[in-house]
Structure 1
Amino acid sequence: MEPYLFKPGRIPLLVSMPHVGTQLPEGLHERLTDEAQSLPDTDWHLPILYDFLEEVGASVLVARYSRYTIDLNRPPDDTPLYTTATTGLFPETLFDGRPLYRTGPALEPAARKARLEAYWRPYHERLEQTLAGFHAQHGIAVLLDAHSICSVVPRLFEGRLPDLNIGTADGRSVAPEISERLVATCAMSNYSHVLNGRFKGGYITRHYGRPASGYHAVQLEMAQCNYMDEEAPFTFREERAAALRPTLRRFVEVLADFARSGGRS
């Protein structure tokens, strides 16, 4: 079984969800601390929240395995993406800094290589092949990397995170007019937003976004309090989600319209 779920769409827009997985390799669950066993740093419930993607026509790529197995939004050489506190390709701490593992070293080099080949590489091969196929057929490929996070994580950022955090690698991963439209879409909502704040886009956005070549990538990091409980058991709250979805759909439609137009403004 592939370490991801993939559903093809009808337009050259791919929505990637690399941190929604909850499966773990055999033997890993027992090694995690009590706090880590509930998988608190998961991007919970995003496929349910984005339940309109098939109607929009987007392709969807969803990870099966937890980011505690390997982080699909980190580079394969584990080069740090941020100068501030973060987690790496093979996380050893929770977002709040507490240890991920009970005792002993996290992973031996051979195990790291095995996970890279078994989980990271297949996801990125599918991602790359899908975008290349879009570009070959339509002359454009558009990628939304969808994420969510607890709204308050003092180790990672001060205070409460804005509701909608748009990352475009400081403008390098997408055409500027699309950034402007996305910001305007968020500004029309009741949700706070920021462009290239604490979250500028991870490896996926930075690596696959090459607007000069017709590849456009955006990351959206959402504060989880807007659609779920942020403490275990991390319950999905449909009443909150129903309020958020219209804004979220308008955000996706900006990218969908751009993809359908072949990049013509």
Structure 2
Amino acid sequence: MLVVAHPDDECFGFGGALALAADRGVETYVICLTDGQAATNRGLAASGQELGAMRRAEFAASCKVLGVTHHELLDYQDGRLEFANFPQTTGRIVERIRRFKPDVVLTFGSDGGPNTHADHIMVSMFTTAAFHWAGRPNRYPDLAQPFQPRRLFTVTSSFEIPGRQPPMPSPWTVALDIAAAQDRKSEAFRQHFSQAPLMESTKELFEKYGRQEFYTLLAAESSQAASHMTDLFEGL
């Protein structure tokens, strides 16, 4: 299961992991909290509502390219996740964890990624809480039966965006070789037509760093799992 903030997050940060999971027959579920109406790049959209509709369709197309089994886009306001009700938002993720029962959960790190986006930071907080609370009977007792996923990973930036102050580096646990999925990750990103200027500005970064994705293990069944791994599912 992957939880992100905006359409295109699923491919830009996590596309390799999703495509490789599909290759091995792993069922995947991507939850996106907003429809990206506040994006700087607006394509041909005449309004925020129109842009949101475009980006919903782009998100679905991207997930299809990556072989995602289930995808869902929620109704939170882009750029304002810091004002979302924390218990309610976390509860919605808890419910989906309990129903889907993932072994592995992925999301952003607490740094918000290379652009330190506030929405990314909030998604990290919601998802981290949901990961731990999903297995506790005293948390959201009315939202399906408790279920505890086995691992929580956050994506770790391997590059800096020119002109932006980079976040403090996070130590990684998994250096995931995504060479076999690199073309699909790029193709998924190309489905986000409204974000074409972003694709052009990050093309060089994709080419330079696109063969690996780095993930940090935040929680697991055993502390021994914290040693470096080559795969998100190693040992499961």
**What interval of TM-score do these two structures reach, taking the shorter chain for normalisation?**
0.3 to 0.5
TM-score, length-normalised on structure 1?
A: 0.33
Larger relative helix fraction: 2
